[in-house]
């Protein structure tokens, strides 16, 4: 195997590694986006529960007054 062949082989291995890393970065980005959407949905749910929890005692108090 000549030096040129060795260079080509190593260069191709490097390109393959770079492509694999690029794909892994894209997968990580997609998971990060998915996690961010899930966190946002959970935050919205928690905020809704907080609103309901605050609203119930007020509604009960108003019914007692009426």
Report residue 3's pLDDT band, with 50, 70 and 90 as the boundaries: confident
More confident residue, 42 or 61: 42
| 63: its two tokens | 């019914």
Sketch the domain layout of the chain as residue ranges: 37-66
Q: Model pTM?
A: 0.64
| 1: its two tokens | 């195997």
Q: What distances in angstroms separate CA 6 from CA 1, 11, 12, 15, 26, one per listed residue?
A: 7, 8, 10, 14, 30
């Amino acid at each position: 195997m000549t030096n040129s062949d060795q260079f080509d082989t190593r260069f191709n291995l490097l390109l393959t590694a770079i492509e694999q890393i690029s794909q892994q970065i894209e997968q990580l980005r997609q998971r990060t986006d998915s996690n961010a959407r899930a966190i946002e949905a959970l935050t919205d749910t928690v905020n809704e529960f907080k609103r309901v929890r605050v609203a119930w005692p007020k509604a009960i108090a108003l019914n007692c007054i009426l």
